[in-house]
Amino acid sequence: MILFITLLIGAVLLTSPAVKGSIGEGEVRHYLRKLDTEKYKIFHDTLLPSRNGGTTQIDHIVVSRAGIFVIETKNYKGWIFGNERSRQWTQTIYRRKQKFNNPLHQNYGHIKAIEHILGEQKNIPYYNVVVFGSRAVIKGVEVNSPNTYVVSIKQLLLLIENHKEMIISDFHMKGIGLRLQSKELTYKGASKEHKGRVRKEQEQKKEQVNKGICPKCGGQIVDRTSKKNGSTFKGCSNFPKCRFNV
- pLDDT by residue (tens digit) across 208-228? 778 788 887 888 888 888 776
pLDDT of residue 11: 40
Q: At what angle do helices 103-118 and 170-183 cross, to 10 degrees?
A: 100
User: 51 or 85: whose pLDDT is higher?
Assistant: 85
pLDDT digits (tens, 9 = 90+) for 40-81: 999 999 999 888 778 899 999 999 999 999 999 999 999 999
How many other β-carbons are positioned within 10 Å of the β-carbon of residue 162? 9
pTM for the model stands at 0.75
State the CATH architecture for 20-188: 3-Layer(aba) Sandwich (3.40)
Domain boundaries, the chain: 20-188, 210-246
Q: Tell me how far apart the alpha carbons of residues 186 and 182 are, in angstroms, rounded to a whole number.
A: 10
pLDDT of residue 230: 72
Give the DSSP per-residue string, 48-69: EE-TTSSEEEEEEEEEETTEEE
pLDDT of residue 123: 86
Element holding 183 (H helix, E strand): helix 170-183
